[in-house]
Structure 1
Amino acid sequence: MKRRSVLQWAAGSAAVTALPSVLHAAEPLKELRLDYAYYSPSSLVIRRFGWLEEEFKKDGINVKWVLSAGSNRALEYLNGNSIDIGSTAGLAALLAKANGNPIRAPYIFSRPEWTALVVPKNSPIKSLADLKGKKIAATKGTDPYLFLLRALHTVGLKRSDIEHVALQHADGRTALEQGRVDAWAGLDPLMAASELDAGSRLLYRNVAFNTYGFLNVREEFIQQNPQAVKRVITVYEKARQWIQANTTEAAKILSEEAKVSLQVALLQVKLRTDLSQPLPTQEHVKALQAAAPILLDEQLVRPGTDLNKAIALLVDTRFATDVVRRT
């Protein structure tokens, strides 16, 4: 067979091989799967009012909601193709992206101070240095866990200098209040509830170490359903603006969904949630670049991982710009 014929045959075979994926990409969306989370008030508002159901009803698209108890759960669901869109902290998303989770982040749902290091009411622990050798509860793969590591590094401590107790956020709170751990890397609204209800004390706060709330989308879903992604972001924008105008009502929704007092919910929504910057920008890139070294220092990613490349592939500015300008 002549070289030209071989090339023509190969090209034709490649086209045939690629055809099923092309056909798959053209299939209409039947179900939108996304998470809601107590650390994302916008998701709670959207779900409560049925705005996504309303948006996609005319297209016959079903909306399926899944509760994420933490960034680690949302990222597991995304990686396992259980959901299409999930809410996580920015640094947790970067950790997952660097380790092969195929996601992109086209929207920022909040700029929170949702984590700090918490100790019991009467704890003798007064400083970060006092944490050496202590039992500390934290959920691996989440912003609180990474916050803990970054906080320890500020006083020359590493993960190996403490006894990490791997617990999901709610269990970490319980362990702290029952005295089974010395400290806890908390997450709101659980952290706010522990403060107000149990008198727990915030040992270390650092807003700069709280990475942004990223709305992550599976890359395959973005490629196949870009308009659906834009419509979801439009609804998130509606929720963001509604919360800004109705903060107390949003706190009531959080209170009911998370089963915490209104006072706890108000602390989270009014004092610890900044909704002013929904567009992924260089600000978010720089925040991740500043936080990224902890992932290498603590060997949470493979040695030599190009984290700047992972950041560039994660932060997606294509979708939200037009949406935010229009709304």
Structure 2
Amino acid sequence: MSVRSLAVLGFGAAVGGAVARRVAAAGQVDPQYRSAALLLPDVQLVRPMAALFRRVRPRPTAIADGVVATDRLVRARDGRGIRVWVYEAATDGAPVPAVLHVHGGGYVMGDPVASHARCSAIAAELGVRVVSVDYRLAPEHPFPAAIDDCVDVLAWMHASADAEGVDAARIAVVGDSAGGGLGACTAQAGFDLGLPVAFQALVYPMLDDRTRRRVDDRGRYAWPASSNRFAWDAYLAGAPGTSPYAAAARRADLAGLPPAWIGVGSLDLLHAEDLAYASRLRAAGVPVEVVEVPGAYHAFETLRPDAPGSQTFEHLLREALRAGLGLGAS
């Protein structure tokens, strides 16, 4: 047999072995969350996806019945306009609690319209106002652009509370993935700057830039270590992770921060950092509820929104916000 034939056979065996290992590993995923997309190799996809995002905007998800969604501009500290989506259901005219929503996308992509369904469901079921911020994205706008936008919108929510019919004492923040990391940093900045956040709901948040140097059995699906490294590198662009509000897990003193809810799948690359942050919050005296979803990967409820576990997860998120904002039982 020729060297070339041996090489071809060796390559085929290697590929076949990789596929077999991938299929076997997929057995860890709860069947309700499984997808053919999970069999894709562990390659860094966020760079091409981010490039595509700049050419093709995401499809808006459905807005819940009875909710009005309005596209508005909020004035930033430097005079720029920050685009936000505001979701409101019918109320009796009394001031209502509010939720600052921060979308995911690894700091390099994402758009509030992809979160219409989540934001409008929160507004409809809880009777609150939801403000979703269209923050600037890396690498064109690295740190601190995104967190500055989030904090500026939080400051606007406080400053305009009376005029907008918002109860400024009951403003929560919710975010997923990079949005969860930004949400956690926004809660930290709010505490420091006198812009209090009453509650923080963090959905598989990106909290620790040091995770970009870690590789383990988690993170095989949807958000592998290679994508995580690219995202953090693009966002920080050389700035140290210890910079204030760059990476939430880097903050030394967590005392005084608002109560938190953290939800993450057991197969998520971010699982360890999320549980570590929850543990540190508890040690600092901050009430924390953690929801671990067995057999779930990063953004599982986005890929499989109709799965019973995904719907339960969304329900638990809304109920956590309900309790955190002091609203009556459903």
TM-score (norm 1): 0.29
For normalisation by structure 2, the TM-score amounts to: 0.29
Larger Rg: 1
